[in-house]
Chain A
Amino acid sequence: MHSPCVSPPAAIPADHRSERRREDERFLTGQGRYLDDDPPEGCLFAAVLRSPHGHARILSVDVAAATESPGVRAVLTGEHWAADGLGALPCFMSLGPDAPLVVPPRPPLGYERVRHVGDPVALVVAESRQAAQDALELIVVDYEVEPAVTDMRRAVAEGAPQVWPEAPGNQAFRYRRGDPDSAAAAMAGAAHVVELELVNNRIAAAALEPRGATGSWDASSGRWLLRISGASVHQIRRELAEGVFRVPLAAIDVVCPDVGGGFGMKNVTYPEYALVLWAAKRLGAPVHWTAERIEDFTAGVHARDNLTTARLGLDAEGRFLALQVETLVNLGAYVSSLGPGPATTAATPAMGGLYDIPAVSMDVRGVFTNTAPVDAYRGAGKPEANFLIERLVDLAAARLGLDAVELRRRNLMRSFPHRNAMGAVIDCGAPLANLDRALLAADHAGFPARRSASEAQGRLRGLGVGCFLETSRGQPNEEAWLRVRSDGSMELAIGTQSNGQGHETSFVRLAADRLGVPAETLRLVQGDTRVVPRGGGHGGARSLHMGGGAIVLAVEDLVAKAREHAARLTQAAPADVSFEGGACVIRSHGGPERRMELAEIAAALAPEEALEGHGHHLCDAYTFPNGCHVAEVEVDPETGAVALLSYVAVDDYGRLVNPLLTEGQLHGGVAQGVGQALMEEARYEDETGQMLAATFMDYQAPRAADLPPFAVTFVEIPTNANPIGAKGVGQAGAIAAPHTVINAVLDALRPLGVTHLDMPATPERVWSAIRRAKSHA
């Protein structure tokens, strides 16, 4: 079963669309190979001692007893690291010359000071996990606890604890984009202005497979090998080589086996990566580390944590004139790999969402606090940008006494290409038609009757509409390599990486169909710097847009090379060689037709030659996945509990390669968006910096039973930004669902006088909002 597609596909033969994932048999029968399945022979096991305090000075670390503990090979501290003269975890991001960024030093082990609960303090390396755990408890750290700050409002206020001396007022950066003057002028002339202060809640990743790393050192070649449960191997390699160890890139290889989830959380360089490499070299043996669940909650990156004041100006007819956005973004205690990106460079092109807003300005301040670092996880910047405009639209409709759908209709982008106020040129789309399709699919017309039926049961029913605009690209180049062996098997190597998206199926299919060979001929190679020299990784829905383009170019290059070789090998004129059905066909004038399979060509080449195609997709164009979602909820007014009853998505991801996999990605994204809207909050206690939701006992991740079936329709409007016409899907659901669900909850509560709720709309929050509204009534 797969979703209806409004426009027929062109590129992929019908019987190959929606084929099931090749990788699933492996994953579903326990044959997946994850990092912790294969610790290398003779490896040592590492455990990390972490700060129990949000902010403290380290007066001393006594490792004597731990070092004597049975099976322990080393206990290493920040002083050892400093003595070895090694560097700190870098952030190579730039926010532009007008927005300088404070990047304080972040050695992988804290010394002198710890700045968040979970900050690494010491590393134990032992002959078994058990021995390492036992020794961890024997380390005695003398802390002088200092006041912590986790709340951004307090962090930027006078007299707040200072996380870094080099960042006065705890400010890491200030980033401004758009045209503040024209936005202010338009706002001044607006007939209506609605303003909203909203929280985009901090969320934690809860990947099925926690983080992990194995470091090995090969003394004979002087090279490191880092195996991780991660993604973005090339970026991690560069950060470790250039930032931490100050060695050539070639001195470190980074490899990922199967990865059990990440959504961006595993794209960053973690201190533990540096630690296992360092320890492996010091001890002359591989060092293996796997995070416990609580280590992922307290020391994996989080996302969001924005506090935004947003204003929308409208004319008398309800047309949008201007949007002003001021945001504080909580970076945590350190600047992680891409930490400053989500609220700034990633959010900018999507600011204003899918609407025609002539003047937009944004002013973002990055704030240091005593919390785990944030980074680009689960959609980054796009969810925040779309959330604020979609919430403003509903608020404006309520204030102006307009229907929220009608207000959307008046303001959605109408003609394409559309240059938005941030300079992004949205090439194609059909927002109005998709809004109508979504309303039809959700039986919008029948809602009043359903609302009455709920009322009769003592429940409040609400319907929420949410549009979204994604802007996808990431690193503006991607590469793919197709290597043919003499047995005809082929390797498709690519610089993006699947951590659940199904590239072994979709990417292989893309290449196989273009070559005219069975998909079984091809094997996908990814996440391995030893065989994939360069790559931009996955993230920001870029894999198909950028990577798919690279595959198409690699196929073209391989075909051209095959034809050249075939012509040379058969002494035919190049013009007489064509490529048909996976083989070269030579039709020399007067001679018999001859067919040369790729395997035959590869076998005929000299040993130093190789039959290989390379595609380098240089592309600075963004794609603009977009869509319209509709959610229906029921609120139990006595308890505040929210039940999500139905969810409709009408999405345009351009041309689809595999609608089944696309729908799967959308489902996952929506589930996580619903989680952010109703359940998840990586909460800290201000002043102590204790993480209050550091286990599944307190951090509510969405469960299957929390979700209704999703009704999905794909509208395929191909983009010209890449040779496939695909726009990308990855994070679409996580972008669209939060505001769609919150709009539905507020629609349900509006009759009671509730106009605002911050995420997550937990039962207590909803109940409190109802109670407050009643007391004001």
Chain B
Amino acid sequence: MYAFSYHQPKTVRQAASLLAKNEDGKILAGGQTLLPTMKQRLAAPPALIDLGKVEGLSGIELKGRSLVIGATTKHVQVATSEIVKQAIPGLAEMAGMIGDPAVRNRGTIGGSVANNDPAADYPAACLALGATIITNTRKIPAEQFFTGLFETALEPGEVIVKISFPIVSKAAYAKFRNPASRYAMVGVFVAKRGSDIRVAVTGAGSNGVFRATALEEALKKRFSPKSLEGVSVSADGLNGDIHASPEYRAHLIGVMAKRAVTAAIGK
């Protein structure tokens, strides 16, 4: 680890101004990716701005037909929240599948979304559920937020405050873990809101999370795993590594989509 300065703002405004003042500074919002990479000297932010003491950033509430989750809400809180379990049970289950207990007790939704790791789970949930990422300056639809590997629409000095999920009628997540890292090798989040059906895939795309439109089209005819039979997913643009070729990932997307749809129907 390299030396860095450490800041503990009390408000989002202070955090944003610290971020603006410290070039290449990083927000610390759980640190489950950031701190290990710093220890390995793969990341060297000169300043860390810890959101841990910022008031009002953590919490879960229902606002009309939306579930709103504060940026520093930990995965374990989402996984065990009665509000989430009632509103979007598939989202609570997804949060319970992230990493391991240590990660779930430190990692936060805002941190995960801002980091946009191509194998993280939350980006798939945000994209499939049509979430809105609310920052200190604006509201960004998930569709426009995730722009590439570890890339987001966040501007310098912009801080995620909360994330709003519209409540859907059916949603579930199915994940095939990378055997070694246990990150999603293929994670598929399906959501149905009226006739709007979305299938978002994480872990597989070489440009990060994406929507599997072929599967969405098939499910629009009937929201059933049977609709996905015989629908193949293209391996173009998928990752290949020692654990899974693009072809295997493409196949797993189909399998996980079916399992997610089955689970969603069962809820």
**A residues lining the B interface (CB < 8 Å):** 133, 638-639, 641, 679, 681, 683, 692-693, 696-700, 762-764, 767-768
CB contacts (< 8 Å) of B179 on chain A: these are 679, 700, 762-763
In this assembly, does B169 line the interface, its C-beta being within 8 Å of a C-beta of chain A?
A: no
In the complex the two chains form, is B242's CB within 8 Å of A693's CB? yes
B residues less than 8 Å from A639 (CB atoms) = 176, 252, 255
B220 neighbours in A (Cβ, 8 Å) = none
- A698 and B181 contact, CB distance less than 8 A: yes
Quick one: which of A681, A700, A764 contacts B248, CB cutoff 8 A? A764
Report yes or no: A764 in contact with B180, Cβ–Cβ below 8 A: no
| Interface bits B51-87 vs A (CB < 8 Å: 1, else 0) | 0000000000000000000000000000000000000
- Nearest 5 Cβ contacts at the A-B interface: A700-B180, A697-B181, A700-B179, A638-B255, A764-B248
Q: How far is the CB of B100 from chain A (nearest CB, A)?
A: 10
- Residues 232-253 of B, flagged 1 when their CB comes within 8 A of A and 0 if not, give 0000000001111100100110
For A768, the closest partner residue in chain B by CB is: B248
8 Å CB contact of A762 from B41, B176, B243: B243
Q: Is the interface of A mostly helix, strand, loop or mixed?
A: loop
CA distance A638 to B252 in the complex (A): 8
What is the bound-complex CA distance between A760 and B179, given in angstroms?
12
The docked-state distance in angstroms from the alpha carbon of A308 to that of B248 is 28
**Does B180 contact A693, Cβ atoms closer than 8 Å?**
yes
For residue A706, which residue of chain B has the nearest CB? B179
Q: Could you tell me if B242 and A698 are in contact, using CB atoms closer than 8 angstroms?
A: yes
A344 to chain B, nearest CB (A): 30
Residue on A nearest B242 in the bound complex, by CB: A692
CB contacts (< 8 Å) of A681 on chain B: these are 242
Contact check, A764 vs B244: say whether CB atoms are below 8 A apart. yes
- A767 touching B248, Cβ below 8 Å: yes
A696: chain B residues within 8 A (beta carbon): 180-181
A639–B259 CA distance with the chains assembled, in angstroms: 11
State in angstroms the CA–CA spacing of A762 and B185 once bound together: 13
A and B contact pairs by CB, cutoff 8 A, 21 listed: A638-B255, A639-B176, A639-B252, A641-B176, A681-B242, A683-B242, A692-B242, A693-B180, A696-B180, A697-B180, A697-B181, A698-B180, A698-B242, A698-B243, A700-B179, A762-B179, A762-B243, A763-B179, A764-B243, A764-B245, A767-B251
Give chain B's interface residue range (CB within 8 Å of chain A).
10 to 19
Q: Least Cβ distance of A695 to chain B in Å?
A: 9
Report the Cα distance A767→B41, complex, angstroms. 37
Q: State the Cβ distance, B102 to closest chain A Cβ, in Å.
A: 14
In whole angstroms, how far apart are the Cα atoms of A697 and B41 in the complex?
16
B253 to chain A, nearest CB (A): 11
Interface residues of B in 251-267 (CB under 8 A from A): 251-252, 255
Closest CB-CB distance, B44 to chain A, in whole Å? 11
Minimum distance in angstroms from A465 CB to a CB of chain B: 26
Instruction: Give chain A residues whose Cβ lies under 8 Å from the Cβ of B180.
Output: 679, 693, 696-700
**A-chain residues with CB within 8 Å of residue B248 when the two chains form the complex:** 764, 767-768
A587 to B241, CA, bound (A): 79
Query: By CB atoms of chain A within 10 A, which of B176, B180, B242, B252 has the most?
Result: B180
Q: Name, among A693, A696, A697, A699, the residue most crowded by chain B CB atoms within 10 Å (CB to CB).
A: A697
**B241 to chain A: which residues have CB within 8 Å?**
698
**Which residues of A sit under 8 angstroms from B252, Cβ to Cβ?**
639
Q: Which residue of A lies closest to B176 (CB)?
A: A639
User: Separation in Å of the A690 CB from the closest CB of chain B?
Assistant: 11
**Separation in Å of the B40 CB from the closest CB of chain A?**
8
Task: Give B246 Cβ to nearest chain A Cβ, in Å.
Answer: 11
How long is the Cα–Cα vector from A641 to B179 in the complex, in angstroms? 9
Known pairs A699-B180, A767-B248 / 20 extra A-B pairs, C-beta < 8 Å: A133-B41, A638-B255, A639-B255, A641-B176, A681-B242, A692-B242, A693-B180, A696-B181, A698-B180, A698-B181, A698-B241, A698-B242, A700-B180, A762-B243, A763-B176, A763-B244, A764-B243, A764-B244, A767-B251, A768-B248
- Closest Cβ of chain A: how far from B251's Cβ, in Å? 7
CA separation between A764 and B239, bound complex, in Å? 14
A696 to B244, CA, bound (A): 16
Q: CB-CB < 8 A to B41: which residues of A?
A: 133
CA distance A698 to B119 in the complex (A): 14
Q: Closest approach, in angstroms, between the C-beta of B41 and any C-beta of chain A?
A: 7
With a cutoff of 8 Å between Cβ atoms, the chain B residues found around residue A762 in the complex are 179, 243
CB distance from A296 to the nearest CB of B (A): 14
Q: Once bound together, how far apart are the Cα atoms of A692 and B241, in whole Å?
A: 9
Residues of B within 8 A of A638 (CB): 255
**Measured between C-beta atoms, what is the minimum distance from A193 to chain B in Å?**
35
CA distance A641 to B180 in the complex (A): 13
**CB-CB contacts of B168-190 with A at 8 A, as 1s and 0s?**
00000000100111000000000
A763 contacts across to B, CB distance below 8 A:
176, 179, 244
Closest chain-A Cβ to B182's Cβ sits at a distance in Å of 9
**B242 contacts across to A, CB distance below 8 A:** 681, 683, 692-693, 698
Nearest A residue to B2 via CB reads: A134
- What is the CA–CA distance of A762 and B242 in the complex, to the nearest angstrom? 10
| Cα(A762)–Cα(B176), bound, Å | 13
Most buried by B among A638, A681, A696, A699: A638
User: In the assembled complex, how far is the CB of residue B77 from the closest CB belonging to chain A, in whole angstroms?
Assistant: 24
Residues of A with C-beta under 8 A to B244: 763-764
Q: Report the separation of the CA atoms of residues A625 and B245 in the bound assembly, to the nearest whole angstrom.
A: 42
Chain B residue with Cβ nearest A703 = B182
Chain B contacts for A767, CB-based, 8 A: 248, 251
CA distance A133 to B44 in the complex (A): 14
Rounded to whole angstroms, the CA-CA distance of A158 and B244 in the bound complex is: 32
How far does the Cβ of B169 sit from chain A's closest Cβ, in whole Å?
27
A196 to B55, CA, bound (A): 66
Bound together, the chains give a CA A639 to CA B186 distance in angstroms of 11
Q: A592 to chain B: closest CB distance in Å?
A: 69
A733 CA to B255 CA, complexed, in Å = 35
CA distance A638 to B242 in the complex (A): 19
CA A641 – CA B185 in complex, angstroms? Answer: 13
A681 to B244, CA, bound (A): 14
Contacts of B255 in A (CB 8 A): 638-639
- Alpha-carbon distance between A767 and B186 when the two chains are bound, in angstroms: 15
A497 to B181, CA, bound (A): 34
A767–B248 Cα gap in the complex (Å)? 8
* Nearest CB on B from A636, distance (A): 9
Closest B-chain residue to A698, C-beta based?
Answer: B180
Closest chain B residue to A700 by CB distance? B180
Residues in A with CB closer than 8 Å to B181 are 696-698
A89 shortest CB reach to chain B, Å? 28
**Chain B residues within an 8 Å CB radius of A683:** 242
A120 to B47, alpha carbons, bound, how many Å? 33
Look across to chain B and name the residue whose beta carbon is closest to the beta carbon of A696.
B180
Bound Cα distance from A697 to B180, whole angstroms: 6
In the complex, chain B residues whose CB is within 8 Å of the CB of A700: 179-180
B23-57 at interface with A (beta carbon < 8 Å)? 41
Once bound together, how far apart are the Cα atoms of A681 and B180, in whole Å? 11
Q: Specify which chain B residues have a CB less than 8 angstroms from the CB of A698 in the assembled complex.
A: 180-181, 241-243
Instruction: Give the distance in Å from the alpha carbon of A489 to the alpha carbon of B177 in the complex.
Output: 55
